A and B are shown apart, each in its own frame.
Chain A
Amino acid sequence: MVSLEMLKEHETVRTAPVSEAEALVDVRGLSLWYGKKQALYDISVRFPRNQVTAIIGPSGCGKSTLLRSLNRMNDLVPGVRVEGEVLYEGVNIYDPRVDPVAVRRHIGMVFQKPNPFPKTIFENVAFGLRLMGVKGSELEDRVVEALKRAALWNEVQDRFKKESGLRLSGGQQQRLCIARAIAVEPPLLLMDEPTSALDPIATQAIEDLIQELKTRYTVVIVTHNMQQAARVSDRTLFMHLGVLVEEGPTEVLFTKPKHPYTEAYITGRFG
């Protein structure tokens, strides 16, 4: 069986590494602890602009933790400690002078289970815009624009100001959450297993949407579904036990994995 000691001895295997110029986010030597338990071990990786990067790996491998380190959502967990840097457009978001709230306003996030606010569809999408002080007709235009871009507009245009977001179906709720996240035009969109609570048809709709989104946004998606990673992403990271084992273009990682653990995982021998 794979042990942590064995993994930590190896360097991350990289295929066609991303250059500094291509990277929107540059993670350098990131380690993270929840209390005394270490969850991430010295992770270095770059996320290229306008591409979809998938993070895969077995449960508890740290993929969600890594994702939540990119917008400092982990700060909300009591007793969390971080070492290393996450450069976003060249700025280390863990610099003590950086306000985590400002970081989150630049980076959108979509969660595992759809979590709309108990407000109308309009107010859901308007929430982030209102925080930024957008008002009046501009607010309305941008809400409609976000609903269109999230491919939800046609289904809700006759009722989006009256109906609660909670009344939508699961798949629609998740697209509403995507609309809410992209309404503020975040350059980076983080998705934490966004289809794990959805049926295959709703999943298909979200996957199509991700392809659309990457023309405007940089997307990082965590998924436990390897077929999904293969379908939607340009690059893939494989993590195990808090270690980044291998990263590279998705087709390489899935067809010619270099690390024996990556191969074992994608061929279904563990995980």
Chain B
Amino acid sequence: MEILKQRPSRNPKEVLTFALLVFLSSITLLTTLGVILSLVGDVAQFFRRVPLTEFLFAPEWTPLFADPRYGISPLIAGTFLVTLIALLVAVPLGLALAIYLSEYASGAARARIKGTLELFEGIPTVVFGYFALLFVTPLLQRVIPDLNIFNPLSAGLVMGFAIIPYISNVAADAMESVPRSIREAAYALGARPYEVALRVVFPAAISGIIAAIILATSRAIGETMIVAIAAGQRPILTLDPRETIATMTSYIVQAATGDQPTGSTGFYALFAVGFTLFLLTLFLNILAQYVVERYRERYE
């Protein structure tokens, strides 16, 4: 039987398709590896000039001063502050929206709102940045007189709204995937819709909900344009939301757009900050995956 000996993998079209797919998917993988490798070289350059202890523990970030200091803590504090403010806005609103979408909205309303949120996600963040600087900050200054023009409060609030879709859509998906039979059990016991949502569906979907929050956090940490425009570029070690600050991302923008001459220590500092940012978001993404795997309920 000749026909049985013709294995599908020997079929030239099959081989070609397979090779093409492997090639295309390896492009993304290789690009990522390339980015990391090129970072590592420049990061090494930086640490040849600046000791790791200074980078980690010095309280100042002043690459442009006559006596430059390279302590990353002011940038981390700035990033942390803006991220915290953004999460204080995005977590409650995003989760409330998720509960509404998965438990209360009718099918048509759900589709429409989710679609709108996805559009919202697509707005360039530079638009949010100007909105924070030109609209939200003046508004806040009426209430808080000594608020700086550039401040993490305004940037954080606006960023909070910008990342709501990341929380609401992912959390709503997690809640919608809780089996109908579990909801029925709760209704049959005389639970009201809010009790079903809060006591049954929400806890059952907790792994997906936490993952949504972690991913939104990672997103907020990496967010660049809103903070570069609205929070300022003055790296000070403070947690006062009225002061002008700088975040890791806004320093990278500053350094990469020409404030630092190529080959200078300040220029290499760009890569050290970028690498720190990379490690931080990588850690959060891995944490999110771990949480999803570890705490996912298996119903069958």
Contacts and interface: CB of A to CB of B under 8 A. Distances in A.
A235 interface: no
A73 B204 contact: no
Interface residues of B, number: 21
Interface string A87-112: 00000000000000111111011010
A170 to B, nearest CB: 10
A28 B79 CA distance: 67
> Which of B187, B189, B297, B299 has the most A CB atoms < 10 Å from its CB?
B189
Contacts of B200: 117
B185 interface: yes
Contacts of A177: 185
The prevalent SS among residues of A at the interface is helix
Contacts, number: 65
A119 B203 contact: yes
> Which of B182, B185, B188, B204 has the most A CB atoms < 10 Å from its CB?
B188
Contacts of B199: 127
Contacts of A119: 203
Nearest to B178: A118
A131 B297 CA distance: 23
B299 A108 contact: no
Nearest to A132: B190
Interface string A34-72: 000000000000000000000000000000000000010
Interface string B184-200: 11111111100100011
A103 B199 CA distance: 20
Nearest to A112: B181
B187 A73 contact: yes
Contacts of B191: 101, 127, 131
A184 interface: yes
B261 to A, nearest CB: 58
A118 B297 contact: yes
B124 interface: no
A129 to B, nearest CB: 9
Contact of B204 (A78, A103, A117, A127): A117
Nearest to A107: B188
B51 interface: no
A113 interface: yes
B189 A184 contact: yes
B188 A71 contact: yes
B187 A104 contact: yes
Contacts of B195: 131
A64 B299 CA distance: 23
Contact of B188 (A102, A109, A116, A118): A109
A103 B189 CA distance: 10
26 contacts: A73-B184, A73-B187, A78-B106, A101-B191, A101-B192, A104-B188, A104-B190, A105-B189, A105-B190, A106-B190, A109-B185, A111-B181, A111-B188, A115-B179, A117-B204, A118-B182, A118-B203, A118-B204, A119-B203, A127-B189, A127-B191, A131-B189, A131-B190, A131-B195, A166-B298, A166-B299
Interface of A: 71, 73, 76, 78, 101-106, 108-109, 111, 113, 115-119, 127-128, 131, 166, 177, 180-181, 184
Closest 8 CB pairs of A and B: A105-B190, A109-B188, A115-B181, A118-B297, A128-B189, A104-B190, A115-B185, A118-B204
